[in-house]
Amino acid sequence: MSDDPHRDSTRRRFLQTGTGLATAALLAGCLGGSGTGDGTPTDDPTSTAPPETTAGSTSESTTEESTDQRGPHSVTMEPVGTVEFESVPETWVANNGSWADMGVALGLEPPKALWLTGRYHTQYYDSIDGVSVDKSDMVSLYQSGVSKELFYSLDADVHVMDPNFLMNRFNGWDEGDVAEVEEQIAPLFGNCIYAQHYPWHSDYRYYSLYEGFEKLARVFQRTDRYEAFEAVHDEFQSNLAPHVPTQGERPEVAVLWGVGDAPEQFYPYIIGEGTGFKHLRDLRVRDALASTNIRDFHGSRAAIDIETLFEVDPPVLMLRGYETKTETEFQSTVVASLEDHPTASELTAVQNGDVYRAGGLYQGPITNMVLTERTASQLYDVDEELFDRQRVAEIVAGDI
């Protein structure tokens, strides 16, 4: 990197066209929080959402190259529009573990930075021989704010994140800052796909996990690995289907973010779209909170107490915020505290031993299969491997 942080952008290996930045400029406004590790939800429960703004959708190009090539190529994704790359990026920064895991699946070097590295749960790879990620040198972009100088020092070839997320998750960046990063360093290319609740995301499309995965594969010109993973996922879904009960026999599940190791407050999550709920949608669970008066955390920013939870008394509790703990640690701290609590101990889920970790918010193609299999074991007593781990490792290694 040059000593001048505002160096000539012509040395960068990309050109950006389309309406991405213009769309981003119309959508600025919402403030969000940080959180660290798994201790608090991704969104700050004390923040409030602003009035929604209006922006048009970006029409996607149908002229993208379908064959991998090492030279110039372009990829289109809302809200960034069409990004033209003069060659395949080598270094990158990602928004979260969803995109980082896609990169692992494509056999890429890990991203140099994530929004919060503590929320990228690389222990999910432990059950797959030949797949591992060392994130010891990975940098958190959010450090009581986000510094443009950090982007300059990282000097990545592409930033895989939604520009609207960067402008709206905390008070500090605007469209001029985004434009500077894109012009002086490298483009932003991404869409906030892990959940579907941000008001600034209401006027352009979301992508499913595999739609986003395919877009990233085009950026790095590794669509052969994407297609191989798609086949693994199809087989995984076929293996899973016989284990999913009929509708009337599917469990009612309440998904909550527990506050602390001895939780007495919980942030409720209504199961919805987005990659963060894919494992629960694929398992066809019924949402115990959806028909109650309890409002989703994303809309209310409000917690509920154990007494309110007792009024609902869900048969199964799936608790987020504890993925850094092993199952044994989770049982000996969080579950034990509920069992010792005078009210929580009367919950049906606690009495029946149906309190589980809910899985992370940020799921990619590999971590989603790991979490879905884990949850199938918890809810449906599945005791077999549902996806081909050897094949996953082969694809990651480039053995297509």
Residue 87 has pLDDT above 60, yes or no: yes
**Residue 259, in any domain of the structure:** yes
Q: For residue range 352-376, what is the model confidence (pLDDT) as tens digits?
A: 999 999 999 999 999 999 999 999 9
User: Looking at the structure, do residues 26 and 92 belong to the same domain, yes or no?
Assistant: yes
User: Looking at the structure, do residues 91 and 147 belong to the same domain, yes or no?
Assistant: yes
CB of 254 within 8 A of CB of 379? no
Residue 221 has pLDDT above 50, yes or no: yes
Taking the model in full, what pTM does it have?
0.85
User: Model confidence at 170, in pLDDT bands (50, 70, 90)?
Assistant: confident
User: Looking at the structure, do residues 258 and 231 belong to the same domain, yes or no?
Assistant: no
Supply the range of the domain harboring residue 343: 245-396
**Residue 2, in any domain of the structure:** no
Q: How far apart are CA 226 and CA 372, in angstroms?
A: 19
Q: Give, in order, the Cα–Cα distances in Å from 210 to each of 99, 194, 215, 275.
A: 11, 12, 9, 9
User: Looking at the structure, do residues 101 and 220 belong to the same domain, yes or no?
Assistant: yes
Between 173 and 49, residue with greater pLDDT: 173
**Per-residue pLDDT at 5:** 38
What DSSP line would sit under 42-76, residue for residue? SS-TT--PPPP---PPPPPPS----S--SS-EEEE
Residue 59 has pLDDT above 70, yes or no: no
At which of 179, 212, 235 does a domain end?
Answer: 235
User: Looking at the structure, do residues 199 and 68 belong to the same domain, yes or no?
Assistant: yes
User: Looking at the structure, do residues 382 and 252 belong to the same domain, yes or no?
Assistant: yes
**Residue 373, in any domain of the structure:** yes
User: Looking at the structure, do residues 186 and 278 belong to the same domain, yes or no?
Assistant: no
Report the CATH number that the domain containing residue 293 is assigned in CATH: 3.40.50.1980
At which of 189, 209, 235 does a domain end?
Answer: 235
User: Looking at the structure, do residues 82 and 102 belong to the same domain, yes or no?
Assistant: yes
The least confident of 63-77, 264-278, 349-363 is 63-77
At which of 201, 235, 269 does a domain end?
Answer: 235
The count of structural domains within the chain is: 2
Residue 287 has pLDDT above 60, yes or no: yes
